[in-house]
């Protein structure tokens, strides 16, 4: 039986899941409140917040969506589930890269195994680091599926260096995570969530690449008001659902 919340499992089956990410190190209550409200009103499938009891309470009182929490410590994820989180994410590493922290495949495998032992009945998403060569990302994803991961998340947007503005630049920025989604989705049977550096321009490309959903953070959480956030989430939802997106060919 699937450990995923029903609404999320359904969205993955339809390949139109949309996760809005507030940030693994974003503990600003006002910001998180706006992000989850925008996700709910804009048509997202679920939200991803830092593993913090107060933030979980804020999220639950301001949206009706499944609440995913992110951390890189198994005990924090277990505590978050005890405080009401619906599923957990090992990942959203982008903010750590700026601090010089790199995650190895062995470290992620050990963390996933530890988390699964603590949370045998909770859905676990795991991000595969873009710092690994693509073939090693695929190998890691296969190992994570074997030890009980329910979702594989890809990344790479923060490290890409677009050389063009506009649409071409958006595609350049998304290319690492799109490549990972394409390769990994063909190697595992669990859903792949393509995240990091995506926009309403490139979200449909993620689905066409083989992802069952997309995750978007900075395009939403860096905005200054909830109205703009809602508009961005709606644009993402429309892009993913569009007939053109579903028929896109890379």
Average pLDDT, the chain: 93
Phi, psi (5° rounding) for residue 216? -130, 130
pLDDT tens-digit map of 94-121: 888 888 999 999 999 999 999 999 999 9
> What percentage of the chain exceeds 70 in pLDDT?
94
Query: Is the per-residue pLDDT at 62 higher than 50?
Result: yes
Contact 36, 52 (CB under 8 A): no
Distance of CA 194 to the CA centre of its chain: 7
Question: Given CA atoms 97, 101, 107, 112 in this order, what sign does their dihedral have?
Answer: negative
Where does the pLDDT of residue 250 fall: very low under 50, low under 70, confident under 90, or very high at 90 and above? very low
- The pLDDT, as a whole number, for residue 159 is 64
Where does the pLDDT of residue 248 fall: very low under 50, low under 70, confident under 90, or very high at 90 and above? very low
| Domain annotation for the chain: domains and CATH numbers | 6-246 (3.20.20.70)
Look up the pTM and report it. 0.93
Query: Is the per-residue pLDDT at 131 higher than 60?
Result: yes
Average pLDDT over residues 63-72: 97
- The pLDDT, as a whole number, for residue 80 is 98
- The pLDDT, as a whole number, for residue 244 is 41
Average pLDDT over residues 154-181: 84
Measured distance CA(176)–CA(161) in Å, rounded: 10
Average pLDDT over residues 126-143: 97
Q: In this predicted structure, which of 10-14, 32-36, 113-117, 240-244 has the lowest mean pLDDT?
A: 240-244
- The pLDDT, as a whole number, for residue 78 is 98
* 41, containing H or E segment: helix 29-42
Average pLDDT over residues 66-72: 97
Of 4, 246, 217, the C-alpha closest to 123 is: 4
């Amino acid at each position: 039986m699937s450990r995923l919340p029903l609404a999320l499992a359904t969205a993955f089956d339809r390949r139109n899941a949309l996760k809005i990410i507030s940030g693994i190190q974003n503990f600003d209550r006002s910001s998180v409140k706006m992000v989850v409200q925008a996700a709910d009103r804009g048509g997202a499938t679920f939200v991803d917040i830092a593993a913090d009891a107060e933030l979980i309470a804020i999220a639950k009182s301001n949206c009706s969506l499944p609440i995913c929490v992110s951390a890189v410590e198994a005990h924090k994820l277990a505590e978050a589930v005890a405080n009401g989180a619906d599923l957990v994410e090992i990942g959203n590493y982008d903010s750590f890269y700026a601090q010089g922290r790199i995650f190895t495949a062995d470290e992620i495998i050990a963390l996933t195994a530890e988390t699964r032992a603590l949370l045998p009945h909770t859905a676990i998403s795991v991000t595969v680091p873009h710092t690994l060569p693509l073939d090693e990302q695929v190998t890691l994803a296969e190992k994570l599926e074997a030890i009980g991961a329910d979702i594989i998340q890809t990344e790479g947007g923060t490290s890409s260096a677009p050389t063009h503005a506009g649409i071409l630049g958006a595609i350049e920025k998304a290319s690492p995570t799109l490549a990972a989604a394409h390769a990994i989705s063909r190697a595992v049977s669990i859903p792949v969530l393509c995240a990091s550096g995506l926009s309403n321009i490139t979200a449909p490309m993620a689905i066409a690449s083989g992802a069952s959903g997309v995750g978007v953070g900075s395009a939403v959480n860096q905005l200054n008001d909830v109205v703009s956030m809602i508009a961005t989430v709606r644009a993402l939802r429309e892009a993913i659902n569009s007939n053109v997106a579903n028929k896109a060919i890379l």
